[in-house]
Structure 1
Amino acid sequence: MSSVNGIGGVSSVNIQSMDLETALMMVQQQRTQLLDAQLNSQIQGVQNRNDQISKLNNVLSSLNAAQAAFPGDAKPDATIKDWNDDKVHQIEIPINDAIQQAGLADLGFGSSAGQTSAQNYRDGTAGTLPSGSNVMKGSTTKAQIDAAIAKVKGQIDSLGNSQQMDMLRLQSLTNKRNEAFDVMTNFVKKMQESRSSIIGNMR
């Protein structure tokens, strides 16, 4: 039995019971709906990638601030001097907040515990984070900060390249969807004109 599968919950339609015009119209409607679904999915993918790039840029900005806290002649194994509560709030917490929001699991940091904003911590009462390679702290070295910056830049570049391909696919889907809609619109118009002509000849 010939049928056209529905999209988004639309039930299958038996085209054998339809006249040719109605069957063709239904097929074209289904094609337009499919392209709409693909287009919406592609748009959501582009938006998600944009959001992640924005989050990574926040991480990069925070890491650059930490890098700027080192003197120009700092050695790779140097840590930020005079580490205190002010620097925890100015450098450590912003970096760890940004890393958490971006969902980064590994930036090559050591295993000591660091801090984040209390509202970003699971119980909302303490700012202490578990130790991990994605947690910046006072013992984090210049070499680790530099390596993290390079890694985040690489991720941003990779997402940017993927974004270009996404935009090309989005444009292609948009063109196909518009073409399908135009075909359907023209088909409806011709059907109406044909029926009007038949009715006119019957008078």
Structure 2
Amino acid sequence: MTVNDLAHRVRSRRALRAVQDQRVRLLDQQLSSQVNDVQKRNARVVTLNAAIPALNAYVAGPTDESLATAIAAARPAVESHVLLSATSDSTEVRTAAADLVATLRIELDAVTDTQQMDVLRLAGLTDKRSEAFDLMSSFLTKMQGSRSSIIGNMRSTRYRSALSSGTAPPSPAASTSPASRTGSTTSSSASTTSASPSLPR
């Protein structure tokens, strides 16, 4: 494989990584939006669960005090209702409270069903996000390997080019070969012999 081939492969993987980065960002946005929806529904469930028992308590034991408690609990659950303007217990107020309980129960059941679907959506988005990050990690590893291959091939190509032109530096192995060491030792011995003084006979 040539350097150009490797460079083309790196460019292709960079393009794929850009696409994968965009996919991860979209998944993050969807996941964040889904989490916000879940939090809102959870808060709504808490509000409904607080209002329904208070209203039931008033219907079961209608007094001005239990009515005030029911109205305080129901006010966050509904924007407007005839019960909210009641000031004292009456048959009409009790009927309105019972009707409101039925309405809030229907909404609570619907929100609870939606919560179950939210859990499935969150699990699916989380799995997709994990897969996207795994793919990004794989892309980064492959790109790093391709860069290393390109650098190695470039160094090898330059060395062969310099070697063919006679400008390549000598191989370190050649300077320390056994033949070189033997020649050096012989020359050193000859030099030592010629420099030694002759002993008188």
Return the TM-score normalized by structure 2: 0.64
Closer, same or farther in 2 for the Cα pair 1:103/1:145, shift >3 Å?
Answer: closer
User: 2:86 touches 2:93 (CA, 8 Å); kept in 1?
Assistant: no
Give the SS at the match of 1:19: helix
Whole-angstrom CA distance in 2 between matches of 1:113 and 1:67: 16
Larger Rg, first or second structure (1 or 2)? 2
Between the aligned partners of 1:50 and 1:202, the Cα distance in structure 2 is 60
Question: Which residue number corresponds to residue 73 of structure 2?
Answer: 98
Which residue does the alignment assign to 1:153? 105
Look up the match of 1:5: none
Q: How do residues 117-156 of structure 1 correspond to structure 2 at under 5 angstroms?
A: 137-139=88-90, 140-156=92-108
Q: Secondary structure at the match of 1:102?
A: coil
CA shift digits 1:90-115 (9 cap, x unpaired)? x2333222222223434xx46x8336
For 1:100 and 1:201, locate their aligned partners in 2 and report how far apart those are by CA, in whole Å.
74
CA distance in 1, matches of 2:75, 2:93: 20
1:72-91 per-residue CA deviation (whole Å, 9 max, x = no partner) reads xxxxxxxx36x4xxx1xxx2
Kindly state the Cα deviation for residue 23 of structure 1 after the two structures are TM-superposed: 1.9
1:24 Cα deviation from its structure 2 partner? 1.6
- Please give the alpha-carbon distance, in whole angstroms, between the structure 2 residues aligned to 1:28 and 1:103: 44
TM-score (norm 1): 0.63
1:141 CA drift (Å) = 4.0
1:25 maps to 17
Which of 95, 108, 113 does residue 85 from structure 2 map onto? Answer: 113
Higher relative contact order structure (alpha carbons within 8 Å, sequence separation ≥ 6): 2
How many residues align structurally?
145
Structure 1 pair 145–96 and aligned structure 2 pair: CA distance change class (3 A):
closer
Q: After TM superposition, list the pairs within 5 Å mapping 1:1-203 onto structure 2.
A: 19-69=11-61, 80=62, 83=64, 87=65, 91-106=66-81, 109=82, 113-114=85-86, 137-139=88-90, 140-203=92-155
- Which structure shows the bigger proportion of residues in helix conformation? 2
CA distance in 1, matches of 2:68, 2:152: 78
- Matched-pair contact (CA < 8 Å) for 2:59–2:98: yes
Aligned residue for 1:62, secondary structure, equals: helix
Q: Once the 2 structures are TM-superposed, how far is the Cα of residue 180 of structure 1 from its aligned partner? A: 1.1
For structure 1, the residue ranges without an aligned partner over 5 or more in a row are 1-17, 70-79, 116-136
Shift of 1:156: 0.5
Distance 2:37 2:14 in 1: 35
Q: For structure 2, which runs of at least 5 residues remain unmatched after alignment?
A: 1-9, 156-201
Q: Report the Cα distance in structure 1 between the residues aligned to 2:17 and 2:146, rounded to whole angstroms.
A: 14
> 1:170 & 1:64 partners in 2: Cα distance?
34
Query: Residues 169 and 53 (structure 1 numbering): CA distance in 2 closer, same or farther, change over 3 Å?
Result: same
Partner amino acid for 1:113?
S
